[in-house]
Structure 1
Amino acid sequence: MHDPIFSKSFTRTQRHRFGAIFLCFIIALAISKPPLHLLSPIGDAVKTQLSINNVGNMLLVDDGGRANIKPIDVNPAEYLQLPSDDAQNKRTSTTISAYSDNGIKMEKKHAIICKNSNYCKIEGDVRIDAKSSTILVATSFANMTKSWCVIEPYPRRGTSRVKKWRVATLEKNDISLPICTQHHTHPSLLFSMGGFTGNYFHDFADILFPLHLTSSQIQKKVQFLATDYKQWWINKFDKILNKLTKHNILDIDRETSQVHCYNELQIGLKFHKELLTLNSSPSMHTFKVLLREAYSLKRERVIRDINVPMPRLMIIDRKRTRVLTNEHQVLRIARKLGFEVVEGVATDLSRFAEAVNSCDVLVGVHGAGLTNMVFLPDNAVVIQVIPFGGVDGFARLDFGNPAKGMNLRYLEYKIRENESSLSRKYSRDHPILRKPELYRNWDQVWSIYLNQQNVSVDLRRFKGILVEALTLLYYK
């Protein structure tokens, strides 16, 4: 808008000069951009072994704009950091790229993303030296010195029987950099079969489901590299593993005479909580679809049809601890209510998965056997019998919370003192009975309330739970 009063305050020459200055300012503002910066991790760094010396004058990440790269001093403590895995913290990566003088982005050199001491994702020239249990990332940056960290490729920290791997960066002209003997074009994922492998719950919660989460974006292209390798475990779950990868699983610990080289490697497994995911992750629902395909399970969901007279019920059988001692009486009540009872003794995994999938209700005392709920059809009901004592939190964490993500209905039956075998083992005034909150340590919970206890449910009270399960199946 032209203002005559404003224009009369200046001569014609002054107005031309002012206009030129203003135009230059607009042009400068349009072409300017923020300076390059290192994407630093959000959140506190994990206290893990990390050695980085004088990472100076590095070529750093740019946010996609065009600018001539200049050497930038980098704080060594900020490079290759391992952010905490607090669910509230966001993740970020350190990606190193090169730019030409005219601002055109050149070949990406390498990227290392470490969320914690259990997981890293690496892109670039990745070399695996099994002889020294080292993963080496070759870099072309002349001024980058050696940096390294230690990864334990198993979801639960501080677990025994898990081999540790060292991740290190070296210059490509470093004489200590091993020469590749086998080049691979497909991505790879290195994980441990140690830890609690062999416990049926941990087989799914610690390895199989996290394997699905970690490899889902690259689907069957990924090759699994197993440290702490167990052939019997692979044989047991081969149908699931064959759905996750088209490659043979490599026993990486035995490849001591080879140097396997990849362009992309994930070491460790993504893990949120037991059989749970974050909203942005592949869901338990997609994992259940994979299981149905792996074991050719027929039922996708429970069909609500009141004309079907016999819903099927299975009680997971336990032999050593947390035995349901009046199981036969419970089954008798279930039959009277109209349930068809299915035998709950596990034999061959494929046949047992089919048996569970044929059921509408699965009942079990807290324990690994309840993991079989992953084979249930959607809208089925899980009834967890929670032993007496400080077991509630563990029971809900393991099975109560994951049930929703599996599209299952969840009910629980809490054992009272008089229903527990502990009431016959200890006097009525013993702290184990009177004050179970004093025994909250996991070792105490395990040795007392899980390893010493059998249960006998109140039949009238448990009948109410079965009636509620029927209501959920047909009326809700």
Structure 2
Amino acid sequence: MEKVPRSLVFRAATTLICLLLLSLFSTVDFGCYVVRSDQWKVRLSTRRVGQGIEDQEHLNFLFKRLLRGEDQTQIETSGFACHSDLQTQVCVANKPVRIDTSTMKVYAPFSQESPQANRVIRPYARQDDKTALSFVSPVQILQGNITPPACQYTHNVPAVVFSTGGFAGNLFHEFNEILIPLFITSRHFQSRLRFIVTDFSPAFVGKFEKVLAHLSSYEVINPTANGSLHCFPGAVVGLHYHDNLAVKTTHIPGGYSMLDFKQFLKESYSVKIQHLSKTEKTVLILVSRQNSRMFLNEDDMVTMMKGLGFRVVIARPDMLSNLDKFAQVLNSCSVMVGAHGAGLANALFLPQGAVLVQVVPLGLDWPSTNYFGVPATEMGLNYVEYKIEPEESSLLSLYGGDHPVINNPASIFAKGYAVARSVYLDRQHMYVNVVRFRKTLIKALGLLGRSAPSV
């Protein structure tokens, strides 16, 4: 029997493998996941991961849950509706749309008689904050008798358009105005949607890639990297906003709460501890600020904390920069201590039943209570605050005890936020009265069901 040449065997095997791969790619759906920011490339795959949205009726149901009252009637009759209030502007199309990512124009020609003719939206929560909106690019929605450009890419899941402009770069604002609103707006789609991010920030996408990948089975589309004409079975432009670090159960499809968002975060970052009862050691994490609102006697504070039996972890900026690792550290802590500021937003990763201790600088009572105090209880945390006295503030030596900065902060805020910020947020540091602050930490221990060691 004549031997078959080895080269022919190799070519035949190669051909067979190629045919098998071709068959595999033609029958299996693949999705694009968020990758690290230094590897970011727009992969315009239109295939699904798992089960996509199969019928228009189900798609209509998902979109309708984003609207209420007359807005629901509007989308049923025209296929397009918008919800607007003081802080939110969200437009929903439950019929096929075309989005030109080079111009960020959304073509919705099916709504021929809509009274809401062409709209311009800046897709960012907190529509009442004009300073933030000045950093957000507009998206134009075109309706009526128009002929849209031809599709270059066709997707079988809807689009959600939002911006990473505004105050992205500040952790509080990233959670408050982007991530929590994104959860509120898109969670009930069960990852069967695709994000288009205007004002694309590689830093933001890289930092929160696990969150984005947990909300969508598809890689984010970056309009600035590839301006193209995309066709979707529907779209949402803008994000719902409820309040500071808030998810209001009565306002959200499916009845989600802030505890649901915390659980979602823990799943995204694979943290294990859900409730404080599963922790053994009393670990206190101290948020150490390096610019404004610093603790000038931080070493004395740490000594006192250790004397109360706490194992103290000092969270400096280099630790906070790696959210993946920092989430694991936070999840093992019983108490978080920090001055009013963005770093306290990390309390979202504390286990339920933990204690947030906020040191309130002079003049910052209202933002301290409303930005962190009230939200903490909705997160399932105990909350304690320590309000400093004038003699604990560096402002006393700068202005003197008779100055309105010290004895009448309201008069400074009456001059405008910029003036007040330059004083109370940017120029203030604290020399905490350790003896008085010790009583606050004893109260925190009591909330944990533990007592302070006898002196």
Using structure 1 for the length normalisation, give the TM-score: 0.73
- SS of 2:142's equivalent in the other structure is strand
RMSD: 2.3
Tell me, which stretches of 5 or more residues in structure 1 are unaligned?
Answer: 1-84, 98-107
Q: How far apart are residue 273 of structure 1 and its match?
A: 0.9
Cα pair 1:190 1:224 within 8 Å, conserved: yes
> 3-state DSSP class of the match of 2:195?
strand
- 1:236 maps to 207
Q: Which moved more, 1:438-447 or 1:212-221?
A: 438-447
Q: Which residue of 1 aligns with 2:248?
A: 278
Match of 1:153 among 90, 106, 123: 123
Matched to 1:262, the amino acid is F
Q: Secondary structure at the match of 2:358?
A: strand
> Aligned pair in 2 of structure 1 residues 399, 90: CA closer, same or farther (>3 Å)?
farther
Q: 1:184 to 1:394 in 2, by over 3 A?
A: same
Greater share of strand: 1
The answer as to whether partners of 1:381 and 1:410 remain within 8 angstroms in 2 is yes
Q: Distance in 1 between matches of 2:75 and 2:69?
A: 20
Match of 1:215 among 148, 165, 186: 186
Question: Where do residues 292-331 of structure 1 align in structure 2 (5 Å cutoff)?
Answer: 292-303=266-277, 310-331=281-302
Q: Given the alignment of the two structures, is residue 268 of structure 1 paired with residue 243 of structure 2, yes or no? A: no
Is residue 410 of structure 1 aligned with residue 383 of structure 2? yes
CA offsets per residue over residues 375-409 of structure 1, 9 Å max, x none?
A: 100000000011101x1111112111111111000
Query: What is the CA-CA distance between 1:437 and the residue it aligns to?
Result: 1.2
Corresponding letter in the other structure for 1:302: L
What is the letter of the counterpart of residue 108 of structure 2? V
Cα distance in 2 for residues equivalent to 1:185 and 1:121: 17
Which residue, out of 330, 351, 374, partners 2:348? 374
| CA positional deviation for 1:215 | 0.6
Q: Match of 1:421? A: 394
User: Residue type of the partner of 2:402?
Assistant: D
Q: Is the 8 A contact 2:80 2:91 kept in 1?
A: no
Q: Which residue of 2 aligns with 1:111?
A: 80
1:242: Cα distance to partner? 1.2
CA distance in 2, matches of 1:145, 1:221: 30
Contact 1:109 1:124 (8 Å CA) reproduced: no
Give the corresponding residue for 1:51.
Answer: none
Amino acid at match of 1:420: S
Whole-angstrom CA distance in 2 between matches of 1:436 and 1:406? 30
Change (3 A) 1:166 1:411: same
Determine if the alignment matches structure 1 residue 463 to structure 2 residue 438: yes
Name the aligned partner's letter for residue 119 of structure 1.
V
Deviations 1:18-52 (A, max 9, x none): xxxxxxxxxxxxxxxxxxxxxxxxxxxxxxxxxxx
Give 1:298 shift. Answer: 2.0
1:431 equivalent to 2:410? Answer no
Q: Which of 195, 198, 210 matches 1:224? A: 195
CA distance in 1 between counterparts of 2:94 and 2:225 reads 24
- Residue in structure 1 matched with residue 64 of structure 2 by the alignment: none
SS in 2 for 1:224: strand
Inter-CA distance 272–144: structure 2 relative to 1 (3 Å threshold): closer
Cα offset, 1:95, TM superposition: 3.1
| Residue 287 (structure 1) aligned with residue 261 (structure 2) | yes
Task: State the alpha-carbon separation in 1 of the partners of residues 78 and 411 from structure 2.
Answer: 55
Moved more, 285-294 or 311-320: 285-294
SS at match of 2:141: strand
Q: How does 1:38-437 map to 2 (within 5 A)?
A: 92-95=71-74, 110-116=79-85, 118-139=89-110, 141=112, 147-157=117-127, 158=130, 159-171=133-145, 174=146, 176-256=147-227, 258-280=228-250, 281=252, 282-303=256-277, 310-345=281-316, 346=319, 347-389=321-363, 391-437=364-410
Distance in 2, matches of 1:374 and 1:304, equals 17
Number of equivalences: 370
Do residues 445 (structure 1) and 414 (structure 2) align? no
Going from structure 1 to structure 2, the CA distance change for 1:429 and 1:369 (only over 3 Å counts) comes to same
**Are the counterparts in 1 of residues 180 and 247 from structure 2 also a CA contact under 8 Å?**
no
Partner amino acid for 2:417? Answer: W
User: Which protein is bigger by CA-based radius of gyration?
Assistant: 1
In the TM superposition, residue 112 of structure 1 has moved relative to its aligned partner by 2.0
1:337 Cα offset (Å): 1.2
In the alignment, the residues of structure 2 paired with residue 344 and residue 112 of structure 1 have an alpha-carbon distance, to the nearest angstrom, of 45
Contact 1:154 1:195 in 2 (8 A): yes
Distance (Å, rounded) in 2 between the aligned partners of 1:426 and 1:145: 57
Report if aligned partners of 2:78, 2:114 keep a CA contact under 8 Å in 1: no
- From the two aligned structures, give the one with the greater helix fraction: 2
Distance 1:96 1:339 in 2: 56
Instruction: Report SS of the residue matched to 2:300.
Output: helix
- TM-score for the superposition, normalised by structure 2: 0.77
Name the CA shift for 1:424/1:298 in 2 (closer, same or farther; >3 Å).
Answer: same
1:444 deviates by: 2.0
Give 1:170 shift.
Answer: 2.4
**Percent identical across equivalent pairs?**
34
